[in-house]
Chain A
Amino acid sequence: MSSASTIEAPSPAPLLELRGISKEFPGVKALDDVSFAVFPGEVHMLLGENGAGKSSLMKVLCGAYRADAGEFYYKGDKVAIASTADAQKLGIAVIFQEFSLVPHLDIAQNIFLGREPKGRIPGTIDRRKILADAKRVLDTIGFDIDPSTTVDKLGVAQQQMVEIAKAISQNARILVMDEPTAALSDRETDLLFALIARLKADGVSIVYISHRMAEVFALGDRITVLRDGRRIDGVRPADVTPDQLVRMMVGRTVDMSYPRNFADKPGEVLLSVKGLTSPTGISDIDIEVRRGEIVGLCGLVGSGRSEVARAIFGADPVTSGEIVFDGKTISGEPDVAARRGIALIPESRKSEGLALLRSVGDNLVVSALRKLFPSGLFDQRSAQRTSDSLIRQLRIATPSARQAVGLLSGGNQQKVVIGKWLAAGAKLFIFDEPTRGIDIGAKSEIFALIDRLVAEGAAALMISSEQVEICHVCDRAYVMREGRIAGHLARAELTEENIVRLGMHHA
């Protein structure tokens, strides 16, 4: 907010200007009074941690979200962006990380989807015209390919080109790209950069979200840093160092009212992972967790954190490497890991952690059936006693164990997921974003609970995008980058800056 004046505009008037944009969701202010200007023919880098507000800003730009407050100006005139159609009319197009192409249609059909040139017979498509038009668009972006190729035969980089061609064919003047190089090889990245230079020369503006320092400096004309939904600063690459940028990105303030009693001396090694590699994209992972420890696993979203958790738990296949738990190697499906005492508290608790229509009680005992009923005979009353005691112990706010778990709040649902592993007697708890979508009060309770678990001799591996939480709660942490462990931070080194620095791509 401080330094809009420090930037000189590369050309006299901005093409699009956002002033004082705010967007609130229940319990979180995604964007808070953000101002943002795009000048013709510039590459504007958008930088920030997970949850800083980049995606929200992008969605406001393309009309997917409607801003609660703020104004839009296009070439100096006040406009409204209330829908994706509004944004499209202004020439704003977004290339999401997940492409929106129809795989079994060809390139030309994808480019002109919904705008196909009509043939002579009603209901038909003028095939010759659509191919010629597509060829012309592809030529303007320098993509030499037969437009009648079906999209499912294309690689990621080529699909991205088709997305860009589609945007250009809609006369896009502002192209928003969300981590466009994330899935590209070095050579493909070079081609993309060449295309960006070409688009710039044609006067197209690019808003570019990136986590890679190298490309921020190689491509960017200007950089806007977001944090906690606020615009922190706008700078030119020539005026800053990577370290300065990292410092702008971190420094979030979060209420940390939960206590953590750090153990002086951790116990014996409970989990030892060596060289773990999985087809899901993680490779050569070495991790060790001791009893009494909370070990953080951080890195950017998509760096492979959840994949490591799933591979350890047996939910994803393992191609090589060794997992030793409690002195014995472990391999196989999740039921093996669960029986040995590993618990996974997955990120999406509604789809992966709970059976929403079943009762709180049913969900609480589902992992402990074998332990509670070794004879194999299920007894409803005994199960009820177990779930009642867990409900009391974890202070799960529910009228009774018979309530459908889907009717509980996020924090209480998370307690049920944790509770089912308490019942099962798990020794290692792997938490994947344990506080996502949970209000502050419940967060403190969850952390107090994790603290108590490890104090009693269990261990925890905790994935979180909230670096401040990792710093506050963890004994130490591993930082991942692009499917590998990029570094390890001991308690003394555990700062947000260090996490971000290790997690960003520097090469």
Chain B
Amino acid sequence: MTDITKEAISPSRSFLSQDAIQVFYRLLAALLICAVLAVLSDSFLSLGNILNVLRQASLTFFIASGLTLVVLTAGLDLSVGANVALSACLAGTVIHQTGSPVLGVLTALVAGGIVGLLNGVMVTALRIPSFIATYGMLWVLNGLTYWYMAGETIHGFPAGFRQIGSGYLFGLPIPVYLLLIFLAIGTVFAQRTIWGQEIYAIGANPVAARLSGIPVVRRLLLVYAVSGTMAGLASIIFLSRLNSAEADIGESLTLPAIAAVLIGGTSLFGGVGTVFGTFVGALILTLVLNGMNILSVSANWQPLVTGIIVILAVWLDMKARRRAQ
């Protein structure tokens, strides 16, 4: 058949290995940044600073990991930061009133998850584009949090609870352990479960996914719920680390999380990307900001640099993918 000859001459390409290559380049970039910073500054390579970078990166990663799943389905969750704020304030109240950190943690996870589920319902049942649904949710959550807190600050939590965000175990900050745990869980979920495979399929072509028998609505609900729950988890770390909760703590979280996802190589068009890539993205973002701090570059420059890195990373990705086709 003519078919066979036509295909035989075009070289074999794999998008799985393509993904691996992208992540590899990102790790190289992260190492390069480390090397440059190590040369420019003596304090960069200190253990304290490296642990600090990892702890910072973990906060971004918790939010960004759930967001990665949403972006893999060609969606977006702009409400994660506001979700962190609401979950933190609710959890803080519960801990104050019951004295039980466990109940507080549960509250944050459940509240975050419910918010995510509501996002999922808007996207699936009401068919509102995720960008708009979660943008609206951002305002709703902000409104609820400001109303609930009424300008108050909750602070002062039990020492045990504060260990989550600021404690150490065998010389490593506890958030770093959580980071490794959730990196593993996220990677296994995305790469090694059939739900993960279905999420990639939905992102690559939602119509074909539905007509292939994938329960698209249920998977999307799951993905948004996971994103919300991860925001709830992040709120615990924040609460415990800051030892206080205010209505405005979420305001600077969403955009860096999206930046980590994009720098990590996940495509906003869906179907392409990895949770590990997002981890590396969060790492690069944190390293650069940390480096600028160490080198005493004014913090005013940070947004500019972040923007340039995002644009550069996405542009290089698109170029690589176009070449692969």
* Residues in chain A within 8 A of chain B (CB atoms): 313, 315, 333-335, 337-339, 344, 346, 351-359, 362, 365-367, 369-370, 373, 376-380, 397-400, 402-404, 406-409, 411-412, 420, 424, 439, 441-442, 445
Closest 9 CB pairs of A and B: A338-B213, A402-B14, A355-B204, A399-B12, A369-B194, A397-B4, A335-B215, A355-B205, A397-B3
Given A376-B193, A397-B1, A402-B12, CB of A409 within 8 Å of CB of B7: yes
Residues of the B chain whose Cβ atoms lie less than 8 Å from the Cβ of A358 = 15, 200-201, 204, 271
Closest Cβ neighbor of A420 among chain B residues: B212
Residues of the B chain whose Cβ atoms lie less than 8 Å from the Cβ of A409 = 2-3, 6-7
Residues of the B chain whose Cβ atoms lie less than 8 Å from the Cβ of A400 = 12, 14
Residues of the B chain whose Cβ atoms lie less than 8 Å from the Cβ of A353 = 208, 211
Find out whether the CB atom of A376 lies under 8 angstroms from the CB atom of B195. yes
- Cα distance A399–B10 in the bound complex, in angstroms: 8
User: Closest CB-CB distance, B138 to chain A, in whole Å?
Assistant: 30
Q: How many A-B pairs with Cβ below 8 Å?
A: 135
- Cα distance A399–B6 in the bound complex, in angstroms: 10
- Cα distance A475–B243 in the bound complex, in angstroms: 75
Task: Tell me if B11 is interfacial: C-beta within 8 Å of chain A.
Answer: yes
Residues of the B chain whose Cβ atoms lie less than 8 Å from the Cβ of A352 = 207-208, 211
Interface centre among A353, A379, A399, A424 (most CB of B within 10 A): A399
Given A362-B201, A378-B191, A378-B196, CB of A337 within 8 Å of CB of B213: yes
Residues of the B chain whose Cβ atoms lie less than 8 Å from the Cβ of A403 = 7, 12-14
- Cα distance A357–B195 in the bound complex, in angstroms: 19
Find out whether the CB atom of B3 lies under 8 angstroms from the CB atom of A442. yes
Find out whether the CB atom of A335 lies under 8 angstroms from the CB atom of B2. no
Closest Cβ neighbor of B201 among chain A residues: A366
Residues of the B chain whose Cβ atoms lie less than 8 Å from the Cβ of A369 = 194, 197-198
Residues of the A chain whose Cβ atoms lie less than 8 Å from the Cβ of B217 = 333
* Residues in chain B within 8 A of chain A (CB atoms): 1-4, 6-8, 10-17, 191-198, 200-201, 204-205, 207-217, 271-272, 325
Find out whether the CB atom of B205 lies under 8 angstroms from the CB atom of A370. no
Of the candidates B12, B14, B213, B325, the one whose C-beta lies within 8 Å of that of A334 is: B213
- Cα distance A421–B59 in the bound complex, in angstroms: 43
Find out whether the CB atom of B205 lies under 8 angstroms from the CB atom of A354. yes
Find out whether the CB atom of B192 lies under 8 angstroms from the CB atom of A378. yes
Residues of the A chain whose Cβ atoms lie less than 8 Å from the Cβ of B11 = 399
Closest Cβ neighbor of B321 among chain A residues: A357
Residues of the A chain whose Cβ atoms lie less than 8 Å from the Cβ of B195 = 376
Closest Cβ neighbor of A438 among chain B residues: B3
Of the candidates B10, B193, B213, B272, the one whose C-beta lies within 8 Å of that of A335 is: B213
Of the candidates A351, A377, A441, the one whose C-beta lies within 8 Å of that of B1 is: A441
User: Closest CB-CB distance, B28 to chain A, in whole Å?
Assistant: 23
Of the candidates A337, A351, A411, A442, the one whose C-beta lies within 8 Å of that of B208 is: A351
User: Closest CB-CB distance, B231 to chain A, in whole Å?
Assistant: 25
Interface centre among B198, B211, B215 (most CB of A within 10 A): B211
Listed A/B pairs (29) with beta-carbon separation below 8 Å: A313-B211, A333-B217, A338-B213, A351-B207, A353-B208, A355-B208, A358-B15, A358-B200, A359-B15, A362-B201, A366-B197, A366-B198, A367-B214, A370-B194, A377-B192, A377-B193, A378-B191, A380-B191, A397-B7, A397-B8, A399-B10, A402-B16, A407-B10, A407-B325, A408-B7, A409-B3, A409-B7, A412-B7, A442-B1
Find out whether the CB atom of B204 lies under 8 angstroms from the CB atom of A357. yes
Find out whether the CB atom of A376 lies under 8 angstroms from the CB atom of B14. no
Given A334-B213, A404-B325, CB of A412 within 8 Å of CB of B3: yes
- Cα distance A400–B11 in the bound complex, in angstroms: 10
User: Closest CB-CB distance, B211 to chain A, in whole Å?
Assistant: 5
Find out whether the CB atom of B16 lies under 8 angstroms from the CB atom of A378. no
User: Closest CB-CB distance, B119 to chain A, in whole Å?
Assistant: 21
Residues of the B chain whose Cβ atoms lie less than 8 Å from the Cβ of A370 = 194
Find out whether the CB atom of A404 lies under 8 angstroms from the CB atom of B13. yes
Residues of the A chain whose Cβ atoms lie less than 8 Å from the Cβ of B325 = 404, 406-407
User: Closest CB-CB distance, A283 to chain B, in whole Å?
Assistant: 23
Find out whether the CB atom of B8 lies under 8 angstroms from the CB atom of A399. yes
- Cα distance A333–B215 in the bound complex, in angstroms: 8
Residues of the A chain whose Cβ atoms lie less than 8 Å from the Cβ of B208 = 351-355
Find out whether the CB atom of B1 lies under 8 angstroms from the CB atom of A356. no
Find out whether the CB atom of A346 lies under 8 angstroms from the CB atom of B7. no
Residues of the A chain whose Cβ atoms lie less than 8 Å from the Cβ of B214 = 335, 366-367
Residues of the A chain whose Cβ atoms lie less than 8 Å from the Cβ of B271 = 355, 357-358
Residues of the A chain whose Cβ atoms lie less than 8 Å from the Cβ of B198 = 366, 369
Q: A355-B208, A403-B13 are in contact. List 19 more A-B contacts (CB 8 A).
A: A333-B210, A351-B207, A354-B205, A358-B15, A358-B271, A362-B197, A362-B201, A365-B197, A367-B214, A373-B194, A377-B192, A378-B196, A399-B12, A403-B12, A404-B13, A407-B10, A408-B3, A408-B7, A442-B1
User: Closest CB-CB distance, A444 to chain B, in whole Å?
Assistant: 10
Find out whether the CB atom of A346 lies under 8 angstroms from the CB atom of B211. yes
- Cα distance A46–B53 in the bound complex, in angstroms: 74
Residues of the A chain whose Cβ atoms lie less than 8 Å from the Cβ of B16 = 359, 402
- Cα distance A126–B209 in the bound complex, in angstroms: 51
User: Closest CB-CB distance, B323 to chain A, in whole Å?
Assistant: 13
Residues of the B chain whose Cβ atoms lie less than 8 Å from the Cβ of A397 = 1, 3-4, 6-8
- Cα distance A431–B104 in the bound complex, in angstroms: 54
- Cα distance A337–B211 in the bound complex, in angstroms: 10
Residues of the A chain whose Cβ atoms lie less than 8 Å from the Cβ of B213 = 334-335, 337-339, 367, 424
Find out whether the CB atom of A378 lies under 8 angstroms from the CB atom of B194. yes
